[in-house]
Amino acid sequence: MNRIISRGMAVFSRKLGVNGVCDVVEFHASPKGVELAGREGKWLPVPVEYKRGRPKENDADSLQLCCQAMCLEEMLLCDRIPKAYLYYGETARRTAVVLDETLREKVKALLVEMHELYTREYTPRVKPGKSCNACSLKDLCLPRLYRTDSAAEYVRKRLEESL
Ligand code: SF4
């Protein structure tokens, strides 16, 4: 076997100040990989992120994937992970994402900005779009709140829906 699959793997990075869960991490047999308990040889971690929808026009999914890889590199003290994969349910295709320096720098810059916002206790307005429909965070983010004119109008509409 030249591939080991781990699902729902928790990851974190002290340097970046983030944690999360990878949908899937594949460990590919590679001399550049790391040793795994109970396995012979070396294994390079390769995150694979599954999305229900289709590829987005922005690079949000690639950034999330790159961040997962950076967490894995730090956790496992392994070489740079050169590429990882996004899988989209609507197209049923797996797309390789090259984890280059540009993408890595953007991940770092966005996380610095995120921590600054958190320290200032400021919640930026979200930009609802088509991708909200397939987003796993939509019940937390509540993007429809931003489509209404006021909190009072939102409450009125929800009350009408429940009658
Ligand atoms: S639900 Fe929120 S987090 Fe998800 S895509 Fe929409 S705005 Fe972004």
pLDDT above 80 (res 7): yes
Does 120 share its domain with 157?
no
What confidence score (pLDDT) does residue 155 get? 72
If one counts the domains in the chain, the total is 2
Q: Identify whether residues 97 and 36 lie together within a single domain.
A: yes
Q: Are residues 119 and 134 in the same domain?
A: no
pLDDT tens profile 117-146: 999 999 888 778 877 887 778 888 777 666
Does the beta carbon of 24 lie inside 6 Å of ligand 1? no
Tell me if 162 sits within 8 A of 142, measured CB to CB.
no
Q: Are residues 64 and 143 in the same domain?
A: no
Separation between Cα atoms, residue 156 and residue 49, nearest integer Å? 38
Which pLDDT belongs to residue 147? 61
Q: 139 and 120 in one domain?
A: no
Q: For ligand 1, is residue 134 a contact (CB within 6 Å)?
A: no
Q: Are residues 24 and 66 in the same domain?
A: yes
pLDDT of residue 138: 80
Shared domain check, 134 and 57 = no
First-to-last alpha carbon distance for the chain, in angstroms, is 58
Residue 115 scores a pLDDT above 60: yes
Same domain membership, residue 140 and residue 61: no
Residue nearest to atom 6 of ligand 1 (CA): 132
Mean pLDDT of 144-156: 66
Q: Are 45 and 76 in contact (CB under 8 A)?
A: yes
Q: Are residue 117 and residue 135 in the same domain, yes or no?
A: no
This model's pTM is above 0.95: no
Range of the domain at 66: 3-124
* Residues 117 and 69 placed together within one structural domain of the fold: yes
Residue among 141, 144, 145, 147 to mutate when testing ligand 1 (max atoms within 8 A of CB): 141
pLDDT tens profile 79-113? 999 999 999 999 999 999 999 999 999 999 999 99
d(CA 111, CA 18): 8
- Residue 129 Cα, ligand 1 centroid: separation in angstroms? 8
